[in-house]
Amino acid sequence: MTPFRNMNAQNGRDLKSQENGKTMKTMKLVTGLVMSAQFAAFGQAGYDPIVSESKLWSSLSGGYGAMMIECCIQTSFMRFEAGASTAGTGEMNVLVSTDSLKTWKVAGYIREFDQAVYFRDAKNVEAMIYDFGAREGQTLRLATYCNNVYHDMADVKVVHIDTVEYQSKRRKRMEVNYDGRKTDYWIEGIGSEFGLFNSCVGMVGGFRELLCVQDRDSLVYKNMRRGTCYVSKQSVGLGKSIAKDFKVYFENSNRRMKVESPDAGRGLSYSIRNLEGQEVGSGQLSGSWIDLNLEEGAYVLRISEKNQQVFSRQFVVTK
């Protein structure tokens, strides 16, 4: 911006002050118009709803033991499903699994209207848990949950709104503050970075993190610090590659996997084990797709060279 000329006369200083005021007002107006245009264009691109039968969430919770070492690890999975009891209501069943997708339990009911998400618990009490249509500076009255269990009501202020890119898709992100005590980030189509029902306001100790969100065969969110969609007591620390040039692709719909590496075909072998340690698949890597005859659940892929493990990664098989 071109600087104003210095004026010694009093009327010149008054004029400068007036021009400065007009310029600031103009800048605020232009900035506001640009931001409004950006969010309008973003909104036109299509809102990605939270409530969808095609999505699967995995979240991690646990505590800390001696020397602040993580303990009591548990990964829980969540998905939504239409059922006879919710037909015609706009709701879906909230299904939760804590045993690697082997069994699912109904934890409540969820619906979404005008970018706001509502949860109804087993006691038939419904409350809003997200509002992606809220404005910056607006305060909402929301229910808070911890490990998918209702905890309390809280005043939630929308501090800032911007967009962020996950897996090549730009999504709305909202910075919110719960009762002035806890900051969280909501991501459109994904939910909270603590997990879909894990705001845990006022709870002391432990940790809660969103690990992954899958939409059909696509991974739409991944916790980059953890680098995996499943963590258990037996597998804490896995998923860290010694050979950093491995790329692993999974297709749940076709039940197949492919491992790409410059060393594929040079004596690399793989094995797949369930969380009980039983081997359910093995063979040599060639860079081609490998058919997986696996049931729903969590597994560990290990790649070895001359009987020495060089890579490991956890993965989850869904419907």
Give me the pLDDT at residue 33, please.
Answer: 44
Q: Give the H/E segment covering residue 36.
A: helix 10-44
Provide the number of structural domains found in the chain. 3
Residue 228 lies in a domain: no
pLDDT value at 69 more than 80: no
Percent of the chain past pLDDT 70, that is, above it, reads 73
Give me the pLDDT at residue 44, please.
Answer: 43
| Shared-domain flag, residues 280 and 311 | yes
pLDDT one-digit tens code per residue, 148-187: 677 788 899 999 999 999 878 899 999 999 887 788 899 9
Residue 238 lies in a domain: no
| Shared-domain flag, residues 203 and 253 | no
Q: Which residue has the higher pLDDT, 207 or 43?
A: 207
pLDDT one-digit tens code per residue, 4-58: 233 333 333 343 344 445 444 444 444 444 444 445 444 445 899 999 999 999 9
Average pLDDT over the chain, rounded to an integer: 76
| Shared-domain flag, residues 14 and 98 | no
Residue 237 lies in a domain: no
Give me the pLDDT at residue 68, please.
Answer: 54
**Residue 255 region by backbone torsions, left for phi larger than 0, else alpha for psi between -120 and 50, else beta:** left
**What is the strand order of the sheet 92-97 is part of?**
126-131, 116-120, 105-113, 92-97, 70-81, 55-64, 207-215, 218-222
The domain that holds 257 is classified in CATH as 2.60.40.3080
Residue 319: band (very low, low, confident or very high) from pLDDT cuts 50, 70, 90: low
Residue 36 belongs to domain spanning: 1-46
pLDDT value at 258 more than 80: yes
pTM listed for this prediction: 0.65
Give me the pLDDT at residue 15, please.
Answer: 37
CA 252 to the chain's CA centroid: 19
| Shared-domain flag, residues 108 and 252 | no
| Cβ-contact 270, 259 below 8 angstroms | yes
| Shared-domain flag, residues 39 and 87 | no
| Shared-domain flag, residues 125 and 202 | yes
Give me the pLDDT at residue 189, please.
Answer: 96
CA distances to 65, 264, 270 from 234, in Å:
16, 28, 19
Q: Which residue has the higher pLDDT, 237 or 275?
A: 275
| Shared-domain flag, residues 19 and 60 | no
Stretch 206-227: mean pLDDT, rounded?
A: 86
| Shared-domain flag, residues 138 and 287 | no
| Shared-domain flag, residues 129 and 177 | yes
Tokens of 218: 């696509």
